[in-house]
């Protein structure tokens, strides 16, 4: 059963459809992608790839924030590692 939703092919985060436990497989379209590095609450974001510090976070095909630190694939993406302020492209 899928536990994340990826809306756009350019997204670097997915949305947890259910709570995902640390070490649990992250699954979309019936395929295991990787193991979660930490617990991901339902409706929260999980990194689909490594996201470098100061890199745009893409959800729904749009930039929603910028990372404030390295976020590894499988980590929870939330206010503790994002900035939603103005940024330059």
CA 78 – CA 82 distance, rounded (Å): 6
User: How confident is the model at residue 31, as a pLDDT?
Assistant: 83
Please report, for the chain, the start and end positions of each structural domain, with discontinuous segments joined by +. Answer: 4-83
* Predicted local confidence at residue 87, as pLDDT: 56
What pLDDT is attached to residue 32?
83
CATH class in words for 4-83 = mainly beta
3-class DSSP assignment, residue 69: coil
In the chain (89 residues long), the average pLDDT of successive 10-residue segments reads 93 97 93 93 97 96 95 96 72
């Amino acid at each position: 059963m899928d536990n994340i939703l990826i809306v756009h092919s350019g997204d670097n985060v997915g949305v947890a459809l259910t709570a995902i436990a640390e070490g649990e497989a992250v699954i979309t379209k019936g395929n295991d992608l990787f193991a979660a590095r930490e617990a991901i609450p339902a409706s929260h974001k999980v990194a689909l790839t490594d996201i470098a510090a100061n890199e745009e976070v893409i959800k729904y095909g749009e930039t929603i924030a910028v990372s404030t630190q390295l976020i590894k694939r499988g980590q929870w993406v939330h206010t503790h590692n994002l900035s939603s302020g103005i940024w330059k492209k």
